[in-house]
Amino acid sequence: MSALLQLSDVRRQFGGVKAVDGVSIAIDDGTIFGLIGPNGAGKTTLVNLITGYVRAQSGSIRLGTEAGVTDIARRPPHAIAGLGVARTFQTLRLYRDLSALDNVLIGMHPRLRDDTLRQLLPIRAPGHTQHRIQQARELMQRVGLNPDDHGSRRAATLSYGDQRRLEVARALALKPRLLILDEPAAGMNPAEKDRVRDLMQQLNQDGLTILLIDHDMRLVMSVCRQIAVLNFGRKIADGSPKEVADDEGVITAYLGTEARKTASHVPGSEESDVAPTSTPSTSVAAATPEPAAPLLEVRDLQVAYGAIQAIRGISFAIGSGETVALIGANGAGKTTILNTLSGVLRPRAGVARFAGIDLTTTPPERIVKQGLVQVPEGREILARLTVRENLELGAWVRRDRRTVHREIEALMKQFPILRERQHLHAGQLSGGEQQILAIARGLLAHPRLLLLDEPSLGLAPQMVDTVFGMIQRIHEEGVTILLVEQNALRALEIADRAYVVETGRILLSDTGAALLRNPEVRRAYLGG
């Protein structure tokens, strides 16, 4: 079997960030190839390099064509599409006000070189037009859309699952040799994911090569013959699904540095390569009852982005003084939960109450004043302001300015790096220094409940230790913490209780110590 696509030592850097750092991958003709990795691993950047949306700074990207092998590393997107590379996008990019049929017809444009001239002619060729329409109808049928029911409808009126299928039909209109699917199952329920799996397998049986990027490890492991894993822009593993799932580096990237050691002490962990069983019908949380008088109570929370159902009836509670962790694979819905609690998003249904206020209707600024403070993923520091100015803005809800200045001085004493950098623009700090600044800024709002979203994301191991030491110190001082963290092992080590989130639902809950020993946690991340 020959390689249809060959990447050799491909590199792309944005400022000081090495988004793709010397990646080499070979995708065989006629296979389904998986590309996975934690948030920020470089997956979408690599796809953008392959499809020409971003230019590689070095390395080669060679595509097998009917005319031979062509290096496409520095070709524009339309030229690469013309060579037979089609893609879908992580977020839908349909022409929402056009009909579903017209969306598919537009996908045919790159392979109809005389199309522009035909549009200028005063008289159209009816046979040609009808032939294209018939092809578009057949493509809709192929992906599971009835052209009679859906063809004339505006794309925006279709269900989310149908919009995903329509995007695949538009990509297929190009008649590609390589189809790149970027998160095709994102936001779908299990039944819809089964249909996506069936469609990919059928397209592959018909001879189409597929590159799949998805956070759902069960889907990836079930359809892919070969998988490559990225982390911090580098390829850390490449092999069969079983080889990847058992790879120590992959387990570390998804779960943390102690994952291999912990797994080796789990009774029955030697059978962890067996396909995962169905979601337990009862939660182990019965052994660890939730607080009788919770500081935060969430019941049957449902959140959607348009047609995408991101949170599907989640319930949990946090008692005063606890550290509670939400863990789970990328795309599980953890950040959506935090943004809903902070008032940034409004839920479709459910209850969320904090210290007597209704979080589902209260404006974000009032939520902060009540003591619920979020340190967002990516830090969101104000890069053009100084470190000290960022800290002062963290206390904008307060009027006790003298006390604020004393607290800033105390934080600088506690974290000397802030004092050393106080007059620098925050954008000049390293990632770890920015994270310390973001947490310190959050503390100046006097939180009763501090929401931390991915505090270790993108940090070197030594700085991860520093940040987690900071979190433990904050907890010891009496602040209640809700922690979302990709490093599951580190999160569970400091959590009193934890919930494992999977595709918008609570899969497991228990003490942090118990979940450390539970092989289902690994399955939730890596799909068995």
Percentage above 70 pLDDT, the chain: 88
Structural contact between residues 140 and 147, judged by C-beta atoms closer than 8 angstroms:
yes
For residue 192, what are the contacts with CB-CB under 8 A and spacing of at least 6? Answer: 161, 185
Please indicate, yes or no, whether residues 308 and 176 belong to a single structural domain of this protein: no
Structure tokens belonging to residue 280: 């337990």
Over residues 126-143, mean pLDDT:
85
Nearest-CA neighbor of 372 among 450, 442, 452?
Answer: 450
Confidence of residue 218 (pLDDT cuts 50, 70, 90): confident
Print the domain residue range for 172.
Answer: 3-254
Please indicate, yes or no, whether residues 460 and 407 belong to a single structural domain of this protein: yes
For residue 106, what are the contacts with CB-CB under 8 A and spacing of at least 6? Answer: 95, 98, 170, 173
Please indicate, yes or no, whether residues 250 and 298 belong to a single structural domain of this protein: no
> What CATH code is carried by the domain that includes residue 501?
3.40.50.300
Beta strands (DSSP E) in 271-390 are: 296-305, 308-318, 323-327, 349-354, 357-358, 372-375
Please indicate, yes or no, whether residues 16 and 131 belong to a single structural domain of this protein: yes
Please indicate, yes or no, whether residues 249 and 298 belong to a single structural domain of this protein: no
With a cut of 60, say whether residue 122 has pLDDT above it. no
In a domain, 287, yes or no: no
Please indicate, yes or no, whether residues 143 and 38 belong to a single structural domain of this protein: yes
Please indicate, yes or no, whether residues 248 and 313 belong to a single structural domain of this protein: no
Count of CB atoms situated within 10 Å of the CB of 282: 6
> Does 157 or 499 have the greater pLDDT score?
499
Query: What share of residues in the chain are helix, strand, coil (percent, to 5)?
Result: 40, 25, 35
Question: Of 230, 254, 278, at which residue does a domain stop?
Answer: 254
Q: What is the pLDDT of residue 272?
A: 34
Structure tokens belonging to residue 428: 């000049």
Please indicate, yes or no, whether residues 299 and 242 belong to a single structural domain of this protein: no
Q: What is the pLDDT of residue 286?
A: 40
Per-residue b/e over 173-199, b at no fewer than 16 CB within 10 Å? bbebbbbbbbbbbbbbeeebbebbbeb
> What distance lies between CA 94 and its chain's CA centroid?
20
Structural contact between residues 343 and 374, judged by C-beta atoms closer than 8 angstroms:
no
Confidence of residue 53 (pLDDT cuts 50, 70, 90): very high
Percentage above 90 pLDDT, the chain: 56
Q: What is the pLDDT of residue 527?
A: 65
Count of CB atoms situated within 10 Å of the CB of 463: 17
Please indicate, yes or no, whether residues 69 and 126 belong to a single structural domain of this protein: yes
- Report the alpha-carbon distance of residue 281 to residue 223 in Å, rounded: 26
**What is the per-residue pLDDT across 386-419, written as a single tens digit (0 to 9) for each?**
999 999 998 887 888 889 999 999 999 988 889 9
Beta strands (DSSP E) in 194-275 are: 209-213, 226-231, 234-239
Count of CB atoms situated within 10 Å of the CB of 308: 18
**What is the per-residue pLDDT across 13-40, written as a single tens digit (0 to 9) for each?**
987 778 899 999 999 999 999 999 877 7
> Does 464 or 385 have the greater pLDDT score?
385
In a domain, 17, yes or no: yes
Q: What is the pLDDT of residue 111?
A: 58
Question: Of 254, 277, 312, at which residue does a domain stop?
Answer: 254
With a cut of 80, say whether residue 251 has pLDDT above it. yes
**What does the DSSP 8-state code read for residue 250?**
H
Confidence of residue 478 (pLDDT cuts 50, 70, 90): very high
Question: Of 197, 228, 254, at which residue does a domain stop?
Answer: 254
Count of CB atoms situated within 10 Å of the CB of 128: 11
Nearest-5° Cα angle at 55, 51 to 60:
80
In a domain, 270, yes or no: no
Confidence of residue 58 (pLDDT cuts 50, 70, 90): very high
Over residues 42-49, mean pLDDT:
91
Q: What is the pLDDT of residue 307?
A: 74
In a domain, 469, yes or no: yes
Burial class (CB in 10 A: 0-12, 13-18, 19+), 477: exposed
**What does the DSSP 8-state code read for residue 42?**
S
- Report the alpha-carbon distance of residue 248 to residue 329 in Å, rounded: 17
Q: By mean pLDDT, which of 123-127, 231-235, 504-508 is the weakest?
A: 123-127
Please indicate, yes or no, whether residues 216 and 303 belong to a single structural domain of this protein: no
In a domain, 499, yes or no: yes
Mean pLDDT, the chain, whole residue set:
85
Over residues 444-465, mean pLDDT:
85
In a domain, 275, yes or no: no
Please indicate, yes or no, whether residues 191 and 315 belong to a single structural domain of this protein: no
Q: What is the pLDDT of residue 98?
A: 93
Over residues 117-142, mean pLDDT:
72
Over residues 367-389, mean pLDDT:
91
In a domain, 264, yes or no: no
**What is the per-residue pLDDT across 261-308, written as a single tens digit (0 to 9) for each?**
444 433 333 333 333 333 333 333 344 567 878 999 999 999 998 777
Over residues 132-148, mean pLDDT:
93
Q: What is the pLDDT of residue 392?
A: 92
Please indicate, yes or no, whether residues 340 and 216 belong to a single structural domain of this protein: no
- How many domains does the structure of the chain reveal? 2
In a domain, 333, yes or no: yes
